[in-house]
Amino acid sequence: MQSGGRIKVGVLGATGTVGQRFIVLLSQHPWFVLHALGASPRSAGKKYKDAVNWKQTVRTPNGVGDMIVKECKASEFEDCKIVFSGLDADAAGDIESEFRSADLAVFSNAKNYRRDPHVPLIVPLVNPSHLSIIPQQQSLHSPPLKKGFIVTNANCSTTGYVIPLAALEKAFGPIELLLVTTMQAISGAGYPGISSLDIMDNVVPYISGEEEKIEWETLKILGGVTEGDDGIKSFDMHARHPLRVSASCNRVPVIDGHTECVSLRFAHRPPPSPQQVREALASYTPDAQTLGCPSAPRHAITVHEEPDRPQPRLDRYYQDGAGVSVGRVRQCQVLDIKFVVLANNVSIGAATSSIINAEYAVLKGVVGVEGEVEAAVANS
């Protein structure tokens, strides 16, 4: 522990877009303190300020620029209680597995382990209870683990719209049909991302693998954790009322903020009115907020009454991008209800989700910090 009793954490992929956002958020965190930064071998050994092409709208946090970048090896992070991964999928699989095997708690933004039957896929404002499968993940590892595990957060486009879905299912019961059309920001492609000649004055109606991710991730997130006769837990994506999802994904010339148009049909009849939907969305209070996770938004869902909101340029940084905005709630002439969602894809869609997941795990005792939580909370 460093002074102030805060919990030491590390960031993998620290020079990338998501890694930079992790650093901005963690530099101000009341419980966590940045202890180690990891990046590619070409960056290792350099001061962070010399290794990074800084693209955030704020300056590099004090003290971070002079930290020495390490290789992404577990031995370099052994003093950390928590490791956040902003690694690209090409590198994340083996590295995150190594860190887990070294008994480190890994909270990942990468896609590699989202389909793993023993790894929770968590949107912290929806299903943090899925952390309950971690003891099984540890026990089935060879050799069994005491502290190490992997938790993933969802794809940024899935995260944004599944939060209002959870609020509506809580209020009105299962959703059975769902259509979503996304208009996704270019930052979702990482840096340098898509060529300016391809995206300016244009909409690209294809993002590789994105539609498939939305369609199956939604089911895992909204589904249950069930236990079989053999005592083995699993994510039962059919434990809930069957849900069919159809997604269409587009890349648009917006820097940050994914906008999504959603139409849905409820299983129970008659369906709620648009006003009832607005009230349910506005009053939604997730467990992460109730428990006191410091990075959780004050309002998980901000409901706009204006006919032309939400808009990325106006609304993406509200609450530092930790919540989502919903507007244009109205009756759907084909299904039941339709609305527009805006989520900050590099905040709640990426780094912020991983950080709230870690906060929740700390408060629930999933991360073994042996009294350090009390010290961190007391000093926050």
258 counts as catalytic:
yes
d(CA 35, CA 372): 15
The residue to which tokens 């997941």 are assigned: 357
Q: Please answer whether residues 26 and 86 qualify as being in contact, where contact means their C-beta atoms are separated by less than 8 angstroms.
A: no
Q: Please answer whether residues 282 and 301 qualify as being in contact, where contact means their C-beta atoms are separated by less than 8 angstroms.
A: yes
d(CA 135, CA 121): 15
Catalytic pick from 118, 258, 299, 304? Answer: 258
- What are the CA-CA distances from residue 207 to residues 55, 182, 250, 353 (Å)? 23, 10, 7, 22
d(CA 86, CA 165): 26
User: ∠ CA 263-346-340 to the nearest 5 degrees?
Assistant: 20
156 counts as catalytic:
yes
Of 56, 13, 62, the C-alpha closest to 38 is 13
Bond from prior residue into 192 cis (ω within 30 degrees of 0): yes
User: ∠ CA 362-367-369 to the nearest 5 degrees?
Assistant: 85
d(CA 108, CA 162): 19
Is residue 364 classed exposed, middle or buried when 0-12, 13-18 and 19+ CB atoms within 10 A define those classes? middle
d(CA 169, CA 126): 11
Residues classed as catalytic = 156, 258
